Chains A and B, each alone.
Chain A
Amino acid sequence: MKTIVSAAALLAASLFAIPASAANLVLYTSQPNEDAQATVDGFMAANPDIKVDWVRDGTPKIIAKLQAEIQAGNPVADLLLIADVVTLERLKEEGKLLAYKSPEAAAYDATLYDADGYYYSTKLITTGIMYNTSAAMKPASWKDLAKPEAKGLVTMPSPLASGAALIHAQTLAAVPGLGWDFYKSLQANGAIAAGGNGAVLKSVASGEKAYGVVVDYLPIREKAKGAPVEFVFPSEGVSAVTEPVGILASSKNAEAAKKFVDYVLSEKGQEGFLKLGYIPARNGMKVPDGFPARDTIKVLPIKAAEALKNTDQDLKIFSGIYGSN
């Protein structure tokens, strides 16, 4: 009996040659796979002694995964690099984050990071409108999406799958003249809300839909590759998320995690984001090709504390308008 058990254990152990060494960071991120891999590769090139495993999913899903792991007493992640500060603010209030004062913070606007060092914004990601170049109308304002020309041709990400989409809905809901009524008028015009930003890009680029509410870098990057799409910053302004990075209090590799934070905030890390087509958060950096100058982009304000307080209610309102997805 013992021989069988030990033989089976040996067999299993030999099959699972998955290294679990100490300097193994686990990053939970909401960046698309290629970008996440590029970020991690850049960090590992700068810190060859640290290996990073990463998992990608939409911000709400990745946080759900983390919460389930925390409840099971086995949080796997050391670091989060996710869409919005609101989510990290909540984790900070729950005491799940570790404070770290990064020396790189000096090169950042004080509004872009947490004063106690719980999280740091890494880039500026705005949400605007993309359209397929064969579409009949060239949208210039959010309200154009509710016009009859766009009937049944609009798609947007669901706040249940995308952190940027939630912030976007909360931002527009607070704009006079738009608000939840605007979302209702879109729904009445046959707009659908499902999946994440990737799904919107695919749907519009391939012509299933003509117009999409989407984060800026995806269509701008795809257009450069030859996809038949255009991106516009609507006249009312755009919502923005800043993809902050934060370390979990439960991390067993806090020292390595701090190095990761320093790296993504450093000039080199920010250059990497620029190359991938994101607007870097660090002062004095360029914007990627295809973007207007940073000071010409009109970013709509969002009150983080209110957004945090109203998240569950706003999700309910949204689900109520669009069915639960």
Chain B
Amino acid sequence: MQGYVRPGNSQPAWLFPFIVISVLFLSVLPLARLAMVGIAAFASGGVIDVLSEPLLWQATYYTMVTSVLGTIISLLIGCLFAFLLTLTDIRGKGPLSFFFVLPMMIPPQVTALAWVQMSGPSSPLLKALSLAPPLGSPQSLYSVGGIALLYGVQHAPLVYLALRAGLMTLPRDGVEAARLSGASSLRVFRDIILPLSLPGIIAGAAISFVSCTGNFGIPAILGIPASIFTLPTLIFTKFSAFTSRTFGDVAVLSAIIAMISVAGLMIQDRALRGRDYRVIGLSGANAAFELGPWRLLFTPFLWTILFFMLAAPFFALVAGALVPAYGVPLSFKTMSLHAFQEILFRQAVTRTAFINSLSLAGATALGLLVVAVLAAYALARRRDAVSRIIASLIEIPYSLPGIVMAVAFILVFAAPIPVLNVSLYGTIWIILIAYFSSFFAVSLKPVVSAFHQLDPALEEAARLSGAGFFRRLFDIIVPLIAPAAGASVILVFLIACNELTISALLWSAGTQTLGVAIYNLDDSGSSDLASALSVLVVLMVVVMMLLLELLAKRLPKGVVPWRS
């Protein structure tokens, strides 16, 4: 343990070991356990049975196809919005950006439910408008194309945010020089902006691809009725035919998902390697292009896309919650608030789910903040190989699909904990620990970047005046990083609140999350109740995002993701 306290660095001796132990527990332990069970299954020959199942290869194929198509769709939509909202003088950037990021914050199964209600012969909305297709028409969303389309809609904001960050720092000089030499707008875009924005596009594509491979809500609602299984939904159905082999089987399946996502991230690495994108000059190519008369075309175009991505599905969801019985056309006469009454005043699961989701999200956001501040302090002050390894270990669980982490934690806690002899499986704590592991990186990012901007002189001065570690932490550091910490808390809270992939495998009686409650209601055929609960969740998300928007003026730049 030598060398933990360095000259000019007065971290308490316990700080770094504490961070190392936390990371070992949250990242290394579950993944090592997953690897062990996988290897044990290999050794006992169980893997051959799993690998020889045609269903597995079919699921791998569907996972790849839907994810690749979904990534392409999300790139198209995300890039369109990013270029138009950062580089042109289009009107209404604020609202456009806010609404465009909204789908990312809404649980994927709600998105899927809304789109199903919006189209096909069962759509209460289309029935009310007498546009519904005839009896026996298949629901066209129950297909590979439908899953890919919704992946695209769900993940386009991720591409948008990744690309936008890069576009914000484009050098203005290059664009101006080209203009002065008489280059057309198209030429400037093709020869200067596009090459320089490649890293953002590639990063966005990689994030989108990995999120697609791990998505559960969309293929669960759109794929299962058509027998299209992706790897995450296959893992889920493995648990609904539980045998003594199940744990080994899902370990192998998770390993395959993990390999696909890691492959995606490696391709991203390869694509960016060997290129140098450092540019000098004034950044901020704001309004590099004047749209002029084109504005009349682009503004309605963007709002139309948003209408189909957000407004139409939301109205369909509301319509789906107001029908008195399936197949009854919705009109002012037939409209009924029964589903809302049932959800709000009768179903105990609603209260349970809201309490669970909000307290899980709150505990995850605040608990992680404490760990993240300490970890950021330790990592920002030490810049050696060990701290780099720790930083990448924190990243891993976040870059793996949630279902993989959920399986890993089931394996860790499937047997009662030795010594203490308590079992966490089937309690709320296992969900909390899995959230801690999965969202640690989200929480850490803004805090670390705030630490890097701190002037160490302030803390040094306090230390020389004899202030202890906690005194320095609370009086100097915390106030300075408060805005970033606030952003970290809100982001983790929003993500954890709408999470389904992890809790779909870990929930039990009394520990249902909102995501699980909505999925189960729809699964039991009560799609009116599922829609009603979804409407409440969407309203909750919008209120939270509006709060963040109101706070945005007091936060540092770049904290609220959708604002410039």
Q: A residues near B, CB below 8 A?
A: 1, 4, 7-8, 11-12, 15-16, 18, 26-28, 32-34, 37-38, 40-41, 53-58, 60-61, 63-65, 67-69, 71-77, 132, 134-135, 152-153, 160-161, 192, 194-203, 205-210, 218, 222, 225-229, 323-325
For B239, give its contact among A32, A65, A201 (CB under 8 Å).
Answer: A65
Are B526's CB and A33's CB within 8 A? yes
Do the beta carbons of A33 and B326 come within 8 Å of each other? no
A206 B521 Cβ-Cβ under 8 A: no
Q: Which residue of B lies closest to A157 (CB)?
A: B525
Q: Across the interface, name the chain B residue whose C-beta is closest to A227.
A: B325
Contact of A209 among B136, B326, B523, B525 (CB under 8 A): B136
Chain A CB within 8 A of B509 CB? yes
* Bound-state Cα–Cα, A278 to B410, Å: 38
Q: Which of B136, B244, B328, B521 has the most CB of A within 10 A?
A: B136
Instruction: Give the interface segment out of B31-39, B207-215, B222-230, B290-298.
Output: B222-230
> Contact mask B486-530 → A, CB, 8 Å, 1/0?
000000000000000000000011101000000011011111010
Quick one: given A207-B136, A208-B120, are A64 and B242 in contact (CB under 8 Å)?
yes
Query: Contact: A60 with B240, CB < 8 Å?
Result: yes
> Cβ of A201 and Cβ of B240 under 8 Å apart?
no
Q: Supply 22 A–B pairs (Cβ within 8 Å), ascending by A.
A: A1-B18, A15-B359, A16-B359, A16-B428, A26-B510, A33-B349, A37-B346, A37-B348, A37-B349, A54-B509, A67-B242, A71-B247, A73-B416, A74-B416, A134-B135, A199-B225, A201-B525, A202-B527, A205-B326, A210-B135, A210-B136, A325-B237
Q: Which residue of B lies closest to A51 (CB)?
A: B348
Partner of B363, one of A15, A37, A209: A15
Q: How far is the CA of A15 from the CA of B427 in the complex (A)?
A: 15
- Do residues B346 and A196 form an inter-chain contact, with CB atoms below 8 A? no
Say whether B426 contacts A58, CB under 8 Å: no
Interface bits B245-268 vs A (CB < 8 Å: 1, else 0): 011000000000000000000000
Known interface pairs A26-B509, A203-B122, A325-B227. Does A198 touch B242 (Cβ–Cβ under 8 Å)? no
When the two chains form the complex, which single residue of A196, A199, A205, A208 contacts B137, counting CB atoms closer than 8 Å?
Answer: A208
Residue in B348, B355, B370 whose Cβ sees the most chain A Cβ within 10 Å: B348
- A28–B510 alpha-carbon span in the complex (Å): 11
Determine whether B413 belongs to the interface, using a CB cutoff of 8 Å to chain A. Answer: yes
Inside 8 A of A323's CB, which chain B residues have their CB?
227
| Residue B174 at the chain A interface, CB threshold 8 Å | no
Q: Which 3 A-B pairs have the closest CB atoms?
A: A198-B525, A206-B122, A205-B326
Interface string of B319-349 (1 = CB under 8 A from A): 0000011111000001000000010001111
Are A60 and B432 also in contact (CB < 8 A) when A11-B367, A12-B367, A210-B135 are? no
Name the contact of B428 in the complex, choosing from A18, A26, A160, A197 (C-beta under 8 A).
Answer: A18
Please give the distance in Å from A237's CB to the nearest CB on chain B.
25
Interface residues on B, range: 35 or more
Q: Are A225 and B121 in contact (CB under 8 A)?
A: no
Whether B139 is near chain A, meaning CB under 8 Å from some CB there, is: yes
B413 touches A201 (CB 8 A): no
- The reply to whether B326 and A227 contact each other, CB–CB distance below 8 Å, is yes
Q: How far is the CA of A73 from the CA of B247 in the complex (A)?
A: 14
Cβ-defined partner of A72 (8 Å) among B239, B324, B425, B523 = B425
State whether A226 and B324 are in contact (beta carbons under 8 Å apart), knowing that A60-B241, A194-B226, A208-B122 are contacts in the complex: yes
- Judge whether B239 and A198 touch: CB under 8 Å: no
* Chain B nearest CB, measured from A29 CB (Å): 10
B520 touches A57 (CB 8 A): yes
Q: Is the CB of A64 within 8 A of B325?
A: no
B415 touches A4 (CB 8 A): no
Q: Is B87 an interface residue (CB 8 A)?
A: no
Contacts of A200 in B (CB 8 A): 525
Known contacts A1-B18, A33-B347, A135-B135: A207-B325 contact under CB 8 Å: no
A194 CB contacts on chain B under 8 angstroms:
224-227
Q: Would you give the 0/1 interface string for B135-154, flagging 1 where the beta carbon is closer than 8 Å to chain A? A: 11111000000000000000
Residues of A within 8 A of B235 (CB): none
Pick the contact of B346: A41, A55, A218 (CB < 8 A).
A41
Chain B, residues 345-370, CB within 8 Å of chain A (1/0): the string is 01111001001100100110011001
The docked-state distance in angstroms from the alpha carbon of A170 to that of B426 is 33
Q: Is the beta-carbon distance between B521 and A33 smaller than 8 angstroms?
A: yes
Chain B neighbourhood of A26, CB < 8 A: 509-510
New A-B contacts (7) at CB < 8 Å, excluding given A32-B524, A60-B240: A57-B523, A153-B136, A160-B237, A192-B226, A206-B122, A207-B135, A208-B120
Give the residues in chain A near B247, CB-CB below 8 Å: 71
How far is A319 from B416 in the complex, measured between Cα atoms in Å? 35
Nearest A residue (CB) for B237: A160
CB distance from A22 to the nearest CB of B (A): 15
- B474 interface residue per 8 A CB criterion: no
**A residues near B508, Cβ cutoff 8 Å:** 55, 65, 69, 76
Q: A18-B355, A26-B510, A71-B414 are in contact. Are A197 and B370 (CB under 8 A)?
A: no
Q: Shortest Cβ distance from B294 into chain A, in angstroms? A: 42
Q: Which residues of A contact B432 (CB under 8 A)?
A: 12
Using Cβ atoms and an 8 Å threshold, which residues of chain A touch B240?
58, 60-61, 64, 160-161
B9 within 8 A of A: no
B423 within 8 A of A: yes
Q: Give, as a whole number of angstroms, the nearest-CB distance from B431 to chain A.
A: 11
Beta-carbon contacts under 8 Å, B1-26 to A? 14, 18
Partner of B520, one of A56, A75, A76: A56
Least Cβ distance of A16 to chain B in Å?
6
Residues of B within 8 A of A4 (CB): 370, 374
